Structure 1
Amino acid sequence: MAQVEHLETMWEEEKKDNNCKGEEQNPVRTNKRKHKEVAIFGNYRNYYGYRIGFDEDPRLKAMKKEWFEGKNCLDIGCNSGAVTIAIAQKFCCRSILGIDIDSDRVEDSYWHLEKVLRAQKRLLKTSKQADSKRLNGLEGHLAESLNGRTRDDSEESHASGRRDLSDIVSFKKANFIRNWYPPENMHFDTIICLSVSKWVQLNWGDEGLITLFVKAWRLLQPGGMFILEPQPWSSYNKNRLVSETARSNYQNIKIYPEDFQDILLDKIGFRRVEDITSNASGQKSGFQRPIFAFWK
């Protein structure tokens, strides 16, 4: 696989209007054109903000709790960590690691995690205060009985191993394609890869895509799942000029999204696939992409 030593941004700042040269300009009335964000790896800031807004990510509807509950999971290309954290909260996984090539997005992920943890603590405090007021209003003997039951429930919850979200979710800056491997030969039960495959091909070509698939297969436990959301080929054209590397790789792509299933089943070694797209209802226009679950 060709080594990408330097990826330079191809967009230069817009030149000032030559017609204004030599003329006195009023700084108050001068409007500078706001440039579109260029993310050569798809590492957009606020990606989930304009994809899902403040609602739950519709793609979570396509996923089942048993695919994650009590399992070790990996999120490839986690961006700001919104889906990673939501999976940990909703599906009670044993652990989930989100990796992203951009250190700024990893920093955003940890910020997002801290925000969720603060919200949880406020909710817990409010709940305890409400319980305390309710108990104080009951008759003495009933209050004692309920207090005892509450202590028992608390002890049982602690004994059952309920953990803080920060003990379940973690993030790491890493290039999954080129040089990342989990510590101590760790394997995963479920790996998700949502809207990442296009950026892999634009930056590392077809060979990078095969590396993604092979590596995901090798990192999965027997019977493990690989959840893939590929972008449509039409979207590649829109991003082919984000870098010189992307432009060159785009021209040489021979593996198209409609070929992914056959490659994963016939070449990589996954034994079956399920199209779970229909369950992910409510996606915004422009983000209505297929989602597949592959089993090792």
Structure 2
Amino acid sequence: MKRRINLASHEASLYASELSAEKNFEESRSLKKVFRYGNYTQYYGYRNPSKCDDSRLRYIPFCWMKSKTILDVGCNTGHFTLSLARKMRPNKVDAIDIDKNLIGISRRNILHYESTNSCKNDESNINNNIAPISEKTGNCEGKTIGCVCENLEQYHGDERKVSQIVNFACSNFVLTSSALVEMCKPEYDVILMLSVSKWIHLNFRDEGLKRCFDRAYKQLKSTGILILEPQPFESYKKKRKIDPDIARNFQTIQFMPDQFHAYLTGIGFSHWKVLNDETQSSSSFDKRPIIAYFKGDVNSFLCSTSKIINESTVS
């Protein structure tokens, strides 16, 4: 009888352990972070596995950035922003992201950009894969690993530190109404929207993305440039199930990426240019077009050796 009781107790204990393990598994699944805004802490690790300066910099004419005021929308961990500030020496860069943890990482990364001048496999150098900021402590957990490569010609005419050029802020570029968009004033020479249109679209639908384009036009100066890197619609489909709201929003989309060009020229951008050449790279990132949309007199942008085009479509 005693043996039976012990056996029953043992079975009950095993059953309780199984329930506990199953509960822990379900809790761990529920706690798994969903990057519904494309706010991956390792985004630039995927896009730029060599940890060197972002290849997109080579397509942007230096004279468009030098001594200019720039807004970088969706800056992630600041890798591209800080490379631009150090290499192209703008007057000021405001860089925003909707994720406060990424902004905290970006601010820490400033120190690494100011102390790193060569490509060395050193843990003291910049990386975009720092662990997120702890909400309890406010401190960045984890180390930086990787390197920054001097693969672009550096301009030495401006001796300011990048911390004096770049301002990182947590902000949502999507305004809640067209009335607020109309209140925006010209402020920037260049606005960068690199690989963010998909995430704005999936979270804020057609109307939200259109308000972003309208806001960009309003906030550009009379000779301003919007540099847009739109993601193809195929990439939307891959992310539509990451969140129930995203799935619902995906079903409502009618404003397709191949319609962005007509919309942007319709609101006033007079000329445009595809900046990056066709590439043989197998990376889907490298196949995305980077398009400059110009506001105002096109003659002010002719410092580039490449001809600015003005056609009915962008191929």
Q: TM-score, normalised by structure 1?
A: 0.71
Distance in 2 (alpha carbons) for counterparts of 1:224 and 1:246: 32
CA RMSD after TM alignment: 2.9
Distance in 2 (alpha carbons) for counterparts of 1:84 and 1:282: 26
The answer as to 2:171 corresponding to 1:178 is no
Distance in 2 (alpha carbons) for counterparts of 1:42 and 1:59: 19
Q: Which runs of structure 2 are paired with 1:128-143 in the superposition (5 Å)?
A: none
Task: Determine which of 278, 282, 285 is the counterpart of 2:283.
Answer: 285
Size of the aligned set, in residue pairs, is 232
- Contact 1:225 / 1:293 at 8 angstroms: preserved in 2? yes
Name the amino acid aligned to 1:276: L
Give the match for residue 227 of structure 1.
227
Residues 282 and 216 of structure 1, relative CA distance in 2, 3 Å threshold: farther
Distance in 1 (alpha carbons) for counterparts of 2:199 and 2:158: 39
Q: Which runs of structure 2 are paired with 1:20-169 in the superposition (5 Å)?
A: 22=15, 38-53=34-49, 54-119=51-116, 162-169=159-166
Name the amino acid aligned to 2:215: K
Give the match for residue 295 of structure 1.
294
Q: Say which structure, 1 or 2, has more relative contact order (CA 8 Å, 6+ apart).
A: 1
- Contact 1:58 / 1:282 at 8 angstroms: preserved in 2? no
Cα displacement string for residues 39-88 of structure 1 (whole angstroms, at most 9, x for unaligned residues) = 01010012101210212211112111011001000100000000111111
Distance in 2 (alpha carbons) for counterparts of 1:65 and 1:218: 24
Name the amino acid aligned to 1:270: F
Cα displacement string for residues 178-237 of structure 1 (whole angstroms, at most 9, x for unaligned residues) = 3699xx956000111011011111111000111110000000001110000000000111
Distance in 1 (alpha carbons) for counterparts of 2:281 and 2:54: 8
Name the amino acid aligned to 1:218: K
- Contact 2:186 / 2:221 at 8 angstroms: preserved in 1? no
Distance in 2 (alpha carbons) for counterparts of 1:214 and 1:254: 18
- Contact 2:74 / 2:96 at 8 angstroms: preserved in 1? yes
Cα displacement string for residues 265-296 of structure 1 (whole angstroms, at most 9, x for unaligned residues) = 02x110011111217x5866121211100001
- Contact 2:76 / 2:102 at 8 angstroms: preserved in 1? yes
1:241 alignment partner, SS class: coil
Distance in 1 (alpha carbons) for counterparts of 2:242 and 2:205: 14
Offset at residue 117 of structure 1 (A): 1.4
Gaps of 5+ in 1: 1-20, 26-31, 122-156
Divergent runs of 4+, >6 A:
32-36
Gaps of 5+ in 2: 1-13, 19-24, 119-155, 296-315
- Contact 1:101 / 1:174 at 8 angstroms: preserved in 2? yes
Offset at residue 175 of structure 1 (A): 0.7
Taking only the aligned residue pairs, the percentage that are identical comes to 35
Residues 161 and 55 of structure 1, relative CA distance in 2, 3 Å threshold: closer
Give the match for residue 205 of structure 1.
205
Name the amino acid aligned to 1:22: Y
Cα displacement string for residues 159-190 of structure 1 (whole angstroms, at most 9, x for unaligned residues) = x7632221101100001103699xx9560001
Residues 284 and 118 of structure 1, relative CA distance in 2, 3 Å threshold: farther
2:116 alignment partner, SS class: helix
Residues 275 and 111 of structure 1, relative CA distance in 2, 3 Å threshold: same
1:278 alignment partner, SS class: coil
Residues 63 and 239 of structure 1, relative CA distance in 2, 3 Å threshold: same
Residues 48 and 251 of structure 1, relative CA distance in 2, 3 Å threshold: same
Q: TM-score, normalised by structure 2?
A: 0.67
Give the match for residue 251 of structure 2.
251
Distance in 2 (alpha carbons) for counterparts of 1:212 and 1:254: 16
Give the match for residue 187 of structure 2.
187
- Contact 1:229 / 1:289 at 8 angstroms: preserved in 2? yes
Name the amino acid aligned to 1:189: D
Name the amino acid aligned to 1:290: P
Distance in 2 (alpha carbons) for counterparts of 1:283 and 1:249: 32
Residues 102 and 269 of structure 1, relative CA distance in 2, 3 Å threshold: same
